[in-house]
Amino acid sequence: MTSFDENELFSLTYIQAVAVNAGYQLADWQVDDQSVDGSLRPLGRRSPIVHFQAKSTTQDFVKTDGIHFPLDKDNFNDLRDPDEVWPFVLIVVLLPKVKDEWLSQSTTELCLRRCGYFLSLRGEPRTENKVSRTVVIPLDNVFNKENLDALMKSARPEDL
């Protein structure tokens, strides 16, 4: 397993932990659909759904106005697609540079270090860039219960 795979798996675990704690679950679908890495829905219910693409990085992309994350151009164009039925967001999980610091555990707590952020790109213009497009994720967009609740509430079109 490469460090890249470990990063990806860890980011999915992070997303799942936050989601379950907020009352949502990762749909156990093995459908590898374009840029969609996973789909969240309320525990015990089938909808609404929030699709996501998960990214993780140990690099320091944080600036004062947000996280400047270089996103593959195909992923960008999928995420901005206004035809998608459900919210489809980018979730970037920032990780400590040293792997041993990603997680710490004792008999009283389990700690996943640093933080995940999300961004909706729906309706942005397509990029014609050759490789990637840098997106800026506001630091308020923490992937947490409050924001996930809000995303789920916005899933139906009256709020989209």
Partner 1 sequence: MRVEIQDPEALRTIPPASVLAHLRASGWEEAEVWPDRAVVLEKAEAGQRWEAVVPIKTTAPGYARNIFQVVEVLAMLEDRSQLDVFRTLASVGADTIRISARNGVEGKPVSLTYANGLMAGAVSALAAAARAAETPRPAFLGPRSAKVTDFIDHIAVAPSDFDTYELTLLSPVPDPPAQAELFPDSHDLPFSRLATRTLAGALDATHAAIAKAHETDALDSFDAAMSAGVSANFCSAVSAMSDQAREFGDGLVADIAWSALHPIHRSPNAHVSFSLRDVQTLDDASKHLRSRATFENEHILADVFRLTRDPAEFDGHAVLLVELDERLRRVEVMFPSSEYDTVIDAHRRQVKIELHGDLKPKGRGYVLGHPRNLKIVDE
Nearest approach in angstroms of CB 12 to partner 1 is 16
* Part of the chain binding partner 1 (CB under 8 A), chosen from 11-19, 23-31, 112-120, 143-151: 23-31
Q: Check residue 131 and report its DSSP letter.
A: S
By CB under 8 A, is residue 32 in contact with partner 1?
yes
What whole-number distance in Å separates Cα of residue 154 and Cα of residue 142? Answer: 16
* Contacts with 33 (C-beta within 8 Å, 6 or more apart), sequence order: none
Cα R_g (the chain), whole angstroms:
16
Residue located via tokens 């907020």: 22
By CB under 8 A, is residue 127 in contact with partner 1?
no
By CB under 8 A, is residue 34 in contact with partner 1?
yes
Binding-residue total with partner 1 (CB under 8 A): 25
What whole-number distance in Å separates Cα of residue 82 and Cα of residue 122? Answer: 5
Residues that bind partner 1 (CB under 8 A): 27, 29-36, 39, 46-47, 49, 51, 78-79, 81-86, 88, 156-157
